[in-house]
Chain A
Amino acid sequence: MKKYIILVLISLIASINLQAYSYAAAGKEPTIDSREGILGAINSDNFVLAKEILEKNKDNYLYLTKEFNEKLFSSLESSILEKDKQKINKWLDVSIATEIQRRLDGGLKNIDNFNIAKVMLAKADKFYKLLSVSLDKELDKKLKEALFQCMDSIGNPGLFGVGAKPVNKEKYIENEKIVDELLKSL
């Protein structure tokens, strides 16, 4: 009987330490998390909190501003100070757009390393899905197609070389430019 008791106890410990599988979201991403925070704050008209969240994430926004959109931080900050909800939302969308540019940029830098490029593009896709809601139909369609073409350009190493597809760097650069232009029009 003792061994059966041990067995049940082991199962109890195992159950406490393990978790079930569940659905997934984009994962930990400071730009998404701060966007959520700022939108939560302005939903309840708490612009002081929105400004605090912006300050807390200043480094991340400054990096995106420096690399991808020079107006991002100042415009987001001024729209919070002006308490203009639509403008705040617009600049938060721009922050998501810069994350897409950032991942595409990473994809290009690592285009000869399929695994890294693929991770970058998978992340770009997660950001795209968040942004897509705010885009008009035509822009959304063009952006989706250009992102698909980038994904297609990184090729595929195949299974032991079977079904392998070569990298097409020119096609990637061409479509990355399209994405950049579309996102700059926001």
Chain B
Amino acid sequence: MNKYKIIAYIFTLFYAVFILNYEPSFYNDDSLFLTRGIDNFSVIDFSPHFPGYVVIVILGKFINIFVNESKYSFFLLSSLCAVFLPLLMFFYVKNFADEKKAFIVFLISISSVYLMNLSLSMLSDSVGFFFFFLSLHMYELKKNKLTGFAFSVALFSRPSYFIFFVIGFIYIYFTNKKSLKEILIYFLFGTFLFLSYTFFYNGYLYIEEAIRFTQGHFELWGVGQNSDIKWIDNILKFENIPYLLLIFSIFSFKKEYIFLWILFLSYFLWMIFAQNADNIRHMIPLVFLANIIIVLSIKNKILILVPFLIINFYAHSFYKEKISPLENIAKYINNNNNEAIIITNRGIEVLREKLKNKIVDGYYKNSAGFIANNKKSLIITTNKPKYKNYKEFRGRFIGEQNLYLFESQN
């Protein structure tokens, strides 16, 4: 076996042990909803919310046969997909470059702070992205049936990576018409399976919830966000300094890697126009695609490795927490036996599950304002309060926003 492959396996094993030493903890309500879906798949009960993330439910239920605890089962599923992502990228890059380049992609990916986000957030991102890369790898291996099926697995793990599938199929249509039919048939086969499973479990209620959710999303709450963060703030972060190398990549553009560039640019546009800047995790696919593009286009490997490794390792030192800010807050309130009403715009359902306190959904800001003005209450926000008396709960990784807890002025 080649030395790069052996080292990649060993590093993956160490990273797996490192990640599995973390306690599973909910990043937000979506993590809880996905976990509930493993116990009882019902979209109308937000378990999980529309569109249902059926692959997560199926795989989670399978793991849960052995683990028998839905929270840990989902943690295993989402974290292991992230753990194995750099290794999968290694094999993917090896299809069209030498092992050394593949290993450099592996190194800068496994050391990335963004991988910590995928590994610990307990969301659909890691599963969707893992299967998306698996489908890319299968495509390079010319395994059309597996490519098509893996495409559908990825789509039904994380439907908001929709743009990748649209672009992927259009690309195949233009460049490899011969394979398109077979890939499409197996994609549609997977789609049929997953949709059938969803309908058998949810029936007509799925349609009912789809209408309510879509209407709510477009007309009520989908366009808003809970902070003032803009995409430009997310892009211009210290952790992203090595990605300045993309400028060199543009000048050393190679036609054979155009598909990766198209995926990158398409997703970039999708992110800017259609994704909420509150969640830096929406940027993660760009990060890993950029890792490959940079390594494939720049010859000087030291120029890549030095900035990436220095900044990645330094950036890891910013994050010391072992559990999420939400679960930390719940622990803090429980330990202090504080029974005040809690007003929050984050993790409402997680807090309802963890605490006996009454929880007010900050989305209804006038009701929340009335309570804050008239009753002693605790307020949780992502914006640093102007008052001095607040407690800060820090995130575990890049993109997990710090939460602030303070008493209302009553």
Q: Which residues of A contact B (CB under 8 A)?
A: 3-4, 7-8, 10-12, 14-16, 18-25, 27-28, 32, 35-37, 39-40, 42-43, 85-86, 89, 115, 118-119, 122, 129-130, 132-133, 157, 159-160
Contacts and interface: CB of A to CB of B under 8 A. Distances in A.
B369 A40 contact: yes
A21 B201 contact: no
B266 A8 contact: yes
A15 B273 CA distance: 6
Given A115-B203, A118-B205, 20 more contacts: A7-B167, A7-B171, A15-B270, A15-B274, A19-B217, A23-B29, A24-B217, A24-B221, A25-B364, A28-B215, A28-B216, A28-B219, A32-B364, A39-B370, A43-B369, A43-B370, A115-B205, A119-B208, A122-B45, A129-B361
A142 to B, nearest CB: 15
Interface centre among A4, A16, A24, A132 (most CB of B within 10 A): A24
Contacts of B217: 19, 21-22, 24
B113 interface: no
Interface stretch (B96-104, B156-164, B243-251): B156-164
A20 B275 contact: yes
**Chain A contact residues: over half helix, strand or loop, or mixed?**
helix
Given A11-B266, A23-B221, A43-B370, A16 B204 contact: no
B367 A22 contact: no
B166 interface: yes
Given A15-B270, A115-B203, A4 B258 contact: yes
**Chain B contact residues: over half helix, strand or loop, or mixed?**
helix
B370 A89 contact: yes
Nearest to B266: A11
Contact of B166 (A11, A37, A42): A11
B201 A159 contact: yes
B125 to A, nearest CB: 12
A86 B358 CA distance: 19
Contacts of A129: 352, 361
Contacts, number: 140
Contact of A118 (B44, B162, B200, B366): B44
Interface string B44-87: 11100111000000000000000000000000000000000000
A15 B205 contact: no
B369 to A, nearest CB: 5
Contacts of B174: 3, 7
Nearest to A21: B160
B303 interface: no
Contacts of A27: 212, 215-216, 220
30 contacts: A3-B174, A4-B262, A7-B171, A7-B266, A10-B166, A11-B265, A14-B266, A16-B273, A18-B163, A19-B218, A20-B222, A20-B282, A21-B49, A22-B221, A23-B49, A24-B46, A24-B213, A24-B221, A25-B364, A28-B215, A32-B364, A36-B365, A37-B366, A40-B369, A42-B370, A43-B373, A115-B204, A115-B205, A129-B361, A133-B341
A36 B45 CA distance: 24
Q: Which interface class (under 10, 10 to 19, 20 to 34, 35 or more) fits B?
A: 35 or more
B276 interface: yes
Nearest to A39: B366
Contacts of A89: 370, 374
B371 interface: yes
Contacts of B29: 23
B363 A25 contact: yes
Contact of B367 (A14, A16, A23, A36): A36
B269 A133 contact: no
B185 interface: no
Nearest to A122: B44
Nearest to A96: B367
A19 B274 contact: yes
Interface centre among B200, B205, B218, B341 (most CB of A within 10 A): B205
Given A7-B262, A28-B219, A133-B360, A14 B270 contact: yes
Contacts of B44: 118-119, 122
Nearest to B171: A7
Contacts of B341: 133
B170 interface: yes
B223 interface: yes
Contacts of A40: 365-366, 369
Interface string B140-173: 0000000000000000000110110011001100
A22 B273 contact: no
Contacts of A19: 217-218, 222-223, 274
Nearest to B203: A115
A150 to B, nearest CB: 14
Nearest to B360: A133
A-B residue pairs, 8 tightest by C-beta: A11-B266, A40-B366, A39-B366, A15-B270, A115-B204, A15-B273, A15-B269, A22-B222
B150 to A, nearest CB: 21
Interface centre among A4, A22, A86 (most CB of B within 10 A): A22
Interface string B363-384: 1111101110110000000000
Nearest to A42: B370
